[in-house]
Chains A and B, each alone.
Chain A
């Protein structure tokens, strides 16, 4: 398992050339040439005038293991699906900026021998933080490449010693409607909850992230600690976690409650199984013009395919 894992992340220090790729404004320029919608041509003159977004750390210019460049820090921190704040992806950053992330504790319990409540600062000390560049594929058919810092979920779970009855891991986001106004919406079963089968949770790819681009993770990205499960659709990667519980039954999830026939428990990225209302065969990588084909398990098949042997993935979507 360890060997498989090692083939995945590439450290930013290993990459020398800065990748040339389409910025948003280059995109608008190219789009205006390609577009049938003539009004877009007016976008072109502004294409090169704006300054580049300042990007922290050495990561900008890095790529994932497939050679695709990481997305800009600006895009990663200003295009967010975080319904606890708002359904408007561009509105999350502003609404989340005063979100309290300190003090913060994470309760890890349930079917374990050594339940423990961690303060966020202890987590950062206990578990060595490493950088991992992962693709994030949203169920809405867009994707990004993100340089996370964090540590394996497995190492946290091993510390609390799950019992043999523990079959699933249940995660819960903080419930704080006074700071997260989206949680006042009656159309969702707050607080956000998610789950993994225990073998999925123990897979080396499953990451608890505390940073992006080498910086402390920002509230809009799920501060102070969030899950990242790169072979599954983004909604599985629950943000701002306060509770991790080992359980014997498959836990309910917020999106499964909202649309049982659309958002399954497994939610593995799968170009062959469409969302009932839109195709999952292709996706738009943020920063690119044309769509690209979606990869089975988001390109992590080698590391995770064995978890689903003998399962019909069109039934267990």
Chain B
């Protein structure tokens, strides 16, 4: 029997990637958007992009902590989906929200820190998305890895953009700060797990050392007839 070519994780990533657009379409069809549909579209595409970004940052720690390497292969898809939603988010802002009123848009982007950091995150994502193909990975060599470390900057910018779209004050823990705080802490955790010393610590506490693999464990799985 021919083996199914996709892993469960792979399917989950693509389903989640498309789910944002599919659910938006469904709600638009069903009339489930709120009385302020443009804001709904902005919020939902923004949140989906942020979650995808967080998931893409979760892959390396999955390998470091749990010795689960498959997520490493899914980083690219997660990152590209995040870029897709950020692009849609921005297009909605420019086209629908501000109706291509460029003077207003530019004035806003220049003046408002919230939009500056959001736009900056988008700009930084462009070269990452463009060099996500294997050919660029080969061409850039070591620099490819360096370039893609910019995601460590993109994610905090995205959280800041999210936080600043909410009412409240993070310094006094007043207002709508809970959700952005949760995103921020998760990202912080994922970044801390990348610090070489932390990585080494996890490597020495490898789960492989906790139990001795038996021969049975090493046997390849055989599909039931």
Q: Are B174 and A257 in contact (CB under 8 A)?
A: yes
Residues of chain A within 8 A of B101, CB atoms compared: 291
In the complex, A109→B5 CA distance in Å?
A: 74
Task: Give me 13 other A-B pairs in contact (C-beta within 8 A), A79-B35, A279-B104 excluded.
Answer: A24-B37, A28-B33, A31-B37, A31-B38, A71-B35, A78-B35, A87-B176, A89-B34, A188-B175, A277-B164, A278-B112, A289-B96, A291-B101
Residues of chain B within 8 A of A42, CB atoms compared: 25, 28-29
B178 interfacial by beta-carbon distance below 8 Å: yes
B36 interfacial by beta-carbon distance below 8 Å: yes
Write the nearest CB–CB distance from B99 to chain A, whole angstroms: 5
- Of A115-123, A124-132, A238-246, A280-288, the one contacting chain B is A280-288
Name A's B-contacting residues (CB within 8 A).
24-25, 27-28, 31, 34-37, 39-40, 42-43, 45-46, 50, 71, 74-75, 78-79, 87, 89-90, 139-140, 142, 185-189, 255, 257-260, 262-263, 274, 277-279, 281-282, 284, 286-287, 289-291
Task: Tell me the dominant secondary structure on chain B's binding face.
Answer: helix
B168 interfacial by beta-carbon distance below 8 Å: yes
In the complex, A262→B34 CA distance in Å?
A: 26
In the complex, A75→B31 CA distance in Å?
A: 12
Residues of chain A within 8 A of B35, CB atoms compared: 24, 71, 74-75, 78-79, 286-287
Given contacts A24-B31, A282-B104, contact A31 B96 (CB under 8 A): yes
Residues of chain A within 8 A of B98, CB atoms compared: 291
* Pairs A–B under 8 Å by Cβ, sample size 8: A37-B91, A42-B29, A46-B31, A188-B174, A257-B174, A258-B175, A281-B104, A291-B99
Residues of chain A within 8 A of B94, CB atoms compared: 36
B21 interfacial by beta-carbon distance below 8 Å: yes
Q: Are A259 and B99 in contact (CB under 8 A)?
A: no
Closest residue of chain A to B99 (Cβ to Cβ) is A290
Q: Are B28 and A34 in contact (CB under 8 A)?
A: no
Write the nearest CB–CB distance from B193 to chain A, whole angstroms: 28
Q: Are A277 and B25 in contact (CB under 8 A)?
A: no
Residues of chain B within 8 A of A46, CB atoms compared: 28-31
Write the nearest CB–CB distance from A67 to chain B, whole angstroms: 21
B65 interfacial by beta-carbon distance below 8 Å: no
Contact of B168 among A36, A142, A258, A291 (CB under 8 A): A258
Contact of A79 among B34, B111, B112 (CB under 8 A): B34
Contact of A34 among B30, B96, B165 (CB under 8 A): B96
Given contacts A37-B88, A187-B176, contact A259 B169 (CB under 8 A): yes
Closest residue of chain A to B165 (Cβ to Cβ) is A277
In the complex, A287→B94 CA distance in Å?
A: 19
Task: Kindly list the 7 A-B residue pairs having the minimum CB-CB distance in the complex, ordered from nearest.
Answer: A79-B35, A75-B35, A258-B174, A43-B28, A258-B175, A36-B95, A259-B169
Residues of chain A within 8 A of B72, CB atoms compared: none
In the complex, A40→B172 CA distance in Å?
A: 40
Residues of chain B within 8 A of A37, CB atoms compared: 88, 91-92, 95-96
Write the nearest CB–CB distance from A260 to chain B, whole angstroms: 8
Q: Are B175 and A187 in contact (CB under 8 A)?
A: yes
Contact mask B160-181 → A, CB, 8 Å, 1/0?
0000110111001111111000
Residues of chain A within 8 A of B88, CB atoms compared: 37, 39
Residues of chain A within 8 A of B33, CB atoms compared: 24, 28
Residues of chain A within 8 A of B63, CB atoms compared: none
In the complex, A287→B107 CA distance in Å?
A: 25
In the complex, A278→B164 CA distance in Å?
A: 9
Residues of chain A within 8 A of B165, CB atoms compared: 277-278
In the complex, A50→B31 CA distance in Å?
A: 8
Residues of chain B within 8 A of A40, CB atoms compared: 28
Q: Are B37 and A187 in contact (CB under 8 A)?
A: no
In the complex, A31→B108 CA distance in Å?
A: 22
Given contacts A25-B31, A43-B29, contact A142 B39 (CB under 8 A): yes
Write the nearest CB–CB distance from A42 to chain B, whole angstroms: 5
